[in-house]
């Protein structure tokens, strides 16, 4: 079973942290070409949905409580 960690990184540190993780081969960034068109379409559709009905959005604290309960 793999563990998932949820972390918050201050914007000031995010770029250097990502660079360090890339150097250690801990992550691989994907390019826009690697994202299938159907995923781009789905994201755009969801953005429009939530722009039209923002009351459907969940607060991140609620989401993390749900994830922690699993």
Q: How many residues does the chain have?
A: 70
Confidence band of 8 (pLDDT split at 50, 70, 90): confident
| Higher per-residue pLDDT: 17 or 6 | 17
- CA atoms of 68 and 23, how far apart (whole Å): 31
2 — pLDDT class (breaks 50, 70, 90): low
Is the confidence at residue 44, as pLDDT, over 90?
A: yes
Write down the pLDDT at residue 1: 55
The band of 68, judged by pLDDT with boundaries at 50, 70 and 90, is confident
Q: Which residue intervals of 1-70 are DSSP H helices?
A: 11-23, 37-52, 60-69
């Amino acid at each position: 079973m793999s563990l998932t960690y949820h972390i918050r990184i201050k914007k000031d540190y995010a770029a250097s942290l990502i660079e360090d993780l890339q150097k250690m081969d801990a992550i691989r960034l994907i390019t826009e070409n690697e994202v299938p068109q159907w995923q781009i379409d789905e994201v755009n559709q969801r953005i429009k949905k939530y722009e039209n009905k923002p009351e459907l959005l969940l607060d991140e604290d609620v989401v993390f409580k749900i994830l922690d309960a699993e």
